[in-house]
Amino acid sequence: MRKKLPIGIQGFEKIRTDNFLYVDKTAYVYQLVHNNVPYFFSRPRRFGKSLLLSTIRYYFEGRKDLFKGLAIEKLEEQNKDAWQPHPVFYFDFNGENYKNADALQRKISFMLNEWENEYNIASNNNTLSERFQILIKQAYKKSGCRCVILVDEYDKPLLDVIENEELTEHNKEIFKGFFSTLKSHDEYIQFIFITGVSKFHKVSIFSDLNQLKDISLTKQYASLCGITDAEIHEYFEQEVLELAEEQNKSKEECLSELKNMYDGYRFHQSGPGVYNPYSLLSAFADKEFGSFWFETGTPTFLVKLLKTSDFDIKRLNNKTIYADEKTLKDYSGDSRNIVPLLYQTGYLTIADYDPVPKEYTLAFPNDEVKYSFIEKLIPEFVSDYGSSS
């Protein structure tokens, strides 16, 4: 039976048990889980971060059955300690509106409450941080294995309220008290992986966890999320042929159009380019070339920041946007520099690199982003864009 395209499917178990196609990224998972260092990883929305965390989750839960036939199964053949279940605490900050003052506390408390019920722990009147400490210790004591901490889209509670300085600082303080537990209870923790779109460098999750390894711009993990040319040929030959037939193109013409539309994201200056996975899968499913990723929604905070910044919009299209590595990785939240967010949210990518000043040149990654941005966003706040004056 032909496998289904996993458009919008973020759960590894569902993909592996419900006949969905899975682009095998488990060789990367093998490297990550055996390094035993805490990681941070940034990618734009709908790039597969949640699926990656779900894959790591089921690895640490010992679900060997879900990995049958994948790269990691063979890599773990000689490891007698592989597939041993660990307690996994998966903090998913998606699917919540954080614009109410107590929303973040309630979200964390809700997740803790589920695990407290699982481990028969009474929360009493303890703080969120104290409750998490008790959970980690109890889980370690009960299982005999150290805990795994996975945090999906940690920055959503900050990006949602970025225009509200008071609430932004409030949510930062919540994180400060809560995630400081990770540093002080290292002996109970096996693995930490945190994802997000933006890395707010003034958030204590990074200052407290000063050993946190940011792999967002490393060559080794440049194609950890996204789809490469090689993976298109390995997994999507039939889809390419069907799209080409529907569009009355040759296979080569179809591949060229796919590259122009959805490829071009580069997360290391000498790493491989990757395709936007959501747009690529959507093009195969609909058998047409559309602006799929862009139409899923542009963050309103980004549009408003562009409106109030002094950034020259015309620079987006002439390769005169430059940044160093620190600028690309960090976003302070109180800076008027819009470039880090344009890169981190996927509207700009690495186009070139000068090793002497260690400076990146940024540009639109592909035609989908370029033309959608120009046609749908710029007219909202630049009335004379495109005029001859």
DSSP string, 350-364: EEEEETTTTEEEEE-
- DSSP H or E segment with residue 187: none
d(CA 299, CA 43): 15
Taking residue 210's Cβ as centre, other Cβ atoms within 10 Å add up to 7
Strand partners, 362: 321, 350
From the list 8, 125, 27, 110, the residue with the least C-alpha distance to 76 is 27
pLDDT score, position 388: 45
- Given a contact cutoff of 8 angstroms between Cβ atoms, the answer to whether 10 and 36 are in contact is no
Q: What is the DSSP letter of 219?
A: G
Within the chain, which residues score under 50 in pLDDT? Answer: 388-389
Coil/strand/helix, residue 231: helix
pLDDT score, position 163: 79
From the list 66, 70, 57, 50, the residue with the least C-alpha distance to 13 is 66
From the list 173, 181, 148, 153, the residue with the least C-alpha distance to 41 is 153
Length of the chain: 389
Residue pLDDT, tens place only, 126-144: 999 999 999 999 999 999 9
pLDDT score, position 59: 98
Handedness of CA 222, 228, 234, 238 (dihedral sign): positive
Q: What is the DSSP letter of 337?
A: -
Report the amino acid identity of residue 293.
W
d(CA 45, CA 103): 22
Please report, for residues 45, 111, 285, the alpha-carbon distance to residue 183 in angstroms, rounded to integers and kept in the order given: 28, 20, 45
From the list 280, 347, 295, 369, the residue with the least C-alpha distance to 7 is 280
What pTM did the predictor assign?
0.93
